[in-house]
Structure 1
Amino acid sequence: MSLIADRSLPLRTTLSLRRKRAREKAPTALSEIFSTITVGLPALAAFALLWEVAPRAGWINALFFPPLSQVLAVLWEMIVSGQLADHIGISLQRAAIGFALAVVTAVPLGFLMGRYPLFERASDFLVQTLRNTSQFALLPVFILVLGIGEASKIAITFYAAVFFLLINTIVGVKSVDPLLLKAARSMGTSDWDLFKKVIFPSAIPSIVAGARLGVKTSLFSVIAAEMLAAQSGIGYLIQNSSLMLETDRMYAGILTLTIVGLVLNYLLVAGEKRATHWHGSGESGPN
C-alpha cells in the first residue's frame, strides 16, 4: 500500500500546487462582482432617471411606457400580495427541472464523446443537426406533442441547455493536459481513477462555463413557453398584462425577470470563477 501511495504522490502534488498558486494570485469572485456593480451604478441611475422623466414630460406615451415610480409601486404591491413570488417560483422550478435533466444527460454523453473518438464520430452529425435547430422553432412542436402542461415547458428548457453543457463537456475532456494523462498512465492508474482524479477535475471549468450559459438559456426559453401556453409564471404575467394593456404590471414583470437574470448571472459568475481559479487564467468558456 505504501508503494502505491508513494508512486501516486507526484500527480497529486502537481494538482495541489496548481490550485494553491492560483488561489494566492486570483482576487475573490465577490470583490470583482462588487467592483463591476459599483462602476456601473451611475449609468444605471441615469437610465432610471430618464425612465421616470420621459413619460412625465410627454416625450413618450405614458400609457405604453409608464414612469418608473409607477412600475415600482405595482411591483411592490405584487411582492406584498405574494403573487410575484408565486410566478417566480413556478418559472424557476420549470427551468431547474429542465436544466437538471440536461446535466444528467449531457455531462456523461460529453465525457463519452470527448474520450472516445469513434463514438464521437458516430454521434457528432446527429448532435450538430439537433444543436443547430432553434429551440424556439421547436416550441410549437413540443406543445403539439406534449400538450400545454408542464411537460412541454420542461422539454424546451432541457433542449435549450443540453447542447451548451454537451459541447463544453467535450471541450473540457479534450483539453486535459496530456502530461497529466501520461503521468497517471505511467503509474498504472485505472480508467476509473484516471477519470475521477485527472479528467473530471480538469474538465470542471469548461462544464461550469457551459452550465452558466445553459441556466440563462433555460430561463429565457421557459419564459417564451409561458407566453404561449401557460396560466402562471413570469412569462404568463408579462404576456397577459400586455394583452390587458396593464403596462405597469407588464413592465414590473419585465423588471422582475431582469433582476432574476442578474442575480443568477452573478451567482454563476462567482461559481465559475471558483471552479476555474486553479487553472490560472479563469477563462473557461464564452461569456
Structure 2
Amino acid sequence: MLLKNLNEGSKIVLKDSYSRNGSLLKIFRKVYEVFYNLLAVFVFIGLWEFISRLEVINPVFLPPFSKIVSAFLGLFISGDIYVNLFISIQRSFIGFFAGLAVAIPLGLIIGWFKRFERFIDPLMQTFRNLSVLALLPVFVLFFGIGETSKVIVIAWAVTWSVLINTISGVKNVEPQLIKAARSMGVSNLSLFKTVIFPGALASIYTGVRLGATSSILVLIAAEMLGANEGLGYLLYLYQSNMKIPEMFSIIIILALLGLLVNYSLVGVEKKLFKWKERA
C-alpha cells in the first residue's frame, strides 16, 4: 500500500514537472519566434548606426540611429507631435471611410450587373491608372487647399483597391451557391443579402486592408502640399530646415502607424474569417 502511494505521488510530481517544462518550452519558443521575426530589423538598425558612425555616408544626411531615437523621444516629450498626429489620423480616417462608402456599393453593383460592368469598365480602368499625385493639383484647383481637397485625395486613393476587390469578390462567388439559392425561389434581393455579399466579404476585406495602407501613404503627399498642420507638413518642414533626425523621426512614426493599422486589420481578419485558415 505504501509503495503504491509512493508510486502515485512520484507520477504526480513527474506530471507537474513535465507540464512546467512544457509551458516554459512554449514561452521560450514564442520569445525565439518574436526575436527571429525582428532580427532583420535589428541587423538593419545596427548597420545604419555602424555606417553613420564610420561616416561612410555623410552623417549630416544620415545621422546615427541613436540620434534619431533621441529626436523621436524629444518630439513626444515636448508635445510638438500630438496635435499634428491627431490631425493626420483624422484626415486619413475621414478619407478612408469616404472611399469605402463609395467603393463598396459601387463595386457590388458593377460586379453583379455584367452589362453595366462592360459599359463602365473602360472609364473605370482609365481613372484607376491615373496617378493620385498627378490629380492632386486638379483637386486643389476645384476644392482649394483646405481640408476638403486632402480628404478627397485620400478617398480617391482608397476607392480603387476596395472597388476592384469588391467587383472581384462578387464575380467569384461560388456559382453552385447561386444556383442552389435560385432553385429555392429566393428573390434577387435576398440572394444578394444572403449569398452574394457574404461570399464577397473576404475579398472586400482584402481591399479594405489595401485601402487603409493607401490612406496613410497618400495623406503624406497631400499634407506636404498646401498644409500647415499634420505629419506630412512636419516632414516637409524638418527637411526644409535641415533637421534631419526629426525628419527621420516622422518617417518612423509613419511606418509605425502603417504597421499598427495593417496588423490590427490582420488580427480582425483572422477572427472574422477563421474558415479561410481551415480551408
User: Helix, strand or coil: the match of 2:75?
Assistant: helix
Correspondence for 2:134: 137
Q: Is it true that 1:229 corresponds to 2:226 in the alignment?
A: yes
Q: Give 1 or 2 for the bigger CA radius of gyration.
A: 2
Q: Once the 2 structures are TM-superposed, how far is the Cα of residue 90 of structure 1 from its aligned partner?
A: 1.2
Correspondence for 1:154: 151
Cα distance in 1 for residues equivalent to 2:110 and 2:35: 42
Q: Once the 2 structures are TM-superposed, how far is the Cα of residue 102 of structure 1 from its aligned partner?
A: 1.1
Give, as a single letter, the amino acid of the residue that structure 1 aligns with 2:138. Answer: V
Q: Please give the residue correspondences for 1:81-230 in structure 2 after superposition, counting only pairs within 5 Å.
A: 81-230=78-227
Q: Is the 1:237–1:253 Cα contact (8 Å) retained in structure 2?
A: yes
Cα distance in 1 for residues equivalent to 2:216 and 2:196: 30
Which consecutive unaligned segments of at least 5 residues does structure 2 have? 1-29
Cα distance in 2 for residues equivalent to 1:113 and 1:281: 30
Counterpart of 1:246 (choices 243, 248, 262) is 243
Q: Comparing 219-228 with 87-96, which one deviates more in the overlay?
A: 87-96
Correspondence for 1:13: none
Cα distance in 2 for residues equivalent to 1:65 and 1:123: 48
Correspondence for 2:261: 264
Cα distance in 2 for residues equivalent to 1:220 and 1:105: 20
1:37-79 superposed Cα distances (whole Å, 9 cap, x missing partner): 5433121111111222222222222211111111111111111
Give, as a single letter, the amino acid of the residue that structure 1 aligns with 2:156. Answer: Y
Cα distance in 1 for residues equivalent to 2:213 and 2:31: 21
Cα distance in 2 for residues equivalent to 1:125 and 1:42: 46
Q: Which has the higher contact order (CA 8 A, sep 6+)?
A: 1
Cα distance in 2 for residues equivalent to 1:82 and 1:190: 58
Q: How many correspondences in the alignment?
A: 250
Correspondence for 1:80: 77
Cα distance in 1 for residues equivalent to 2:85 and 2:136: 21
Counterpart of 2:38 (choices 24, 37, 41) is 41
Q: Comparing 80-89 with 179-188, which one deviates more in the overlay?
A: 80-89
Q: Comparing 194-203 with 50-59, which one deviates more in the overlay?
A: 50-59
1:2-21 superposed Cα distances (whole Å, 9 cap, x missing partner): xxxxxxxxxxxxxxxxxxxx
Q: Once the 2 structures are TM-superposed, how far is the Cα of residue 185 of structure 1 from its aligned partner?
A: 1.4
Correspondence for 1:273: 270
Q: Is the 1:208–1:275 Cα contact (8 Å) retained in structure 2?
A: no
Give, as a single letter, the amino acid of the residue that structure 1 aligns with 2:98. Answer: L
Which consecutive unaligned segments of at least 5 residues does structure 1 have? 1-32, 283-287
TM-score, normalization by structure 1: 0.82
Give, as a single letter, the amino acid of the residue that structure 2 aligns with 1:189. Answer: V
Q: Please give the residue correspondences for 1:8-47 in structure 2 after superposition, counting only pairs within 5 Å.
A: 38-47=35-44
Q: 1:264 to 1:174 in 2, by over 3 A?
A: same
Cα distance in 2 for residues equivalent to 1:255 and 1:281: 36
Q: Once the 2 structures are TM-superposed, how far is the Cα of residue 80 of structure 1 from its aligned partner?
A: 2.0
Q: Is the 1:230–1:236 Cα contact (8 Å) retained in structure 2?
A: yes
Report percent identity of matched pairs.
Answer: 43
Cα distance in 2 for residues equivalent to 1:140 and 1:66: 34
Q: Comparing 33-42 with 211-220, which one deviates more in the overlay?
A: 33-42
Q: Is the 1:204–1:275 Cα contact (8 Å) retained in structure 2?
A: no
TM-score, normalization by structure 2: 0.84
Q: 1:172 to 1:95 in 2, by over 3 A?
A: same
Q: Once the 2 structures are TM-superposed, how far is the Cα of residue 192 of structure 1 from its aligned partner?
A: 2.2
Q: Once the 2 structures are TM-superposed, how far is the Cα of residue 83 of structure 1 from its aligned partner?
A: 2.2
Q: Comparing 193-202 with 269-278, which one deviates more in the overlay?
A: 269-278
User: Helix, strand or coil: the match of 1:148?
Assistant: coil
Give, as a single letter, the amino acid of the residue that structure 2 aligns with 1:109. Answer: L
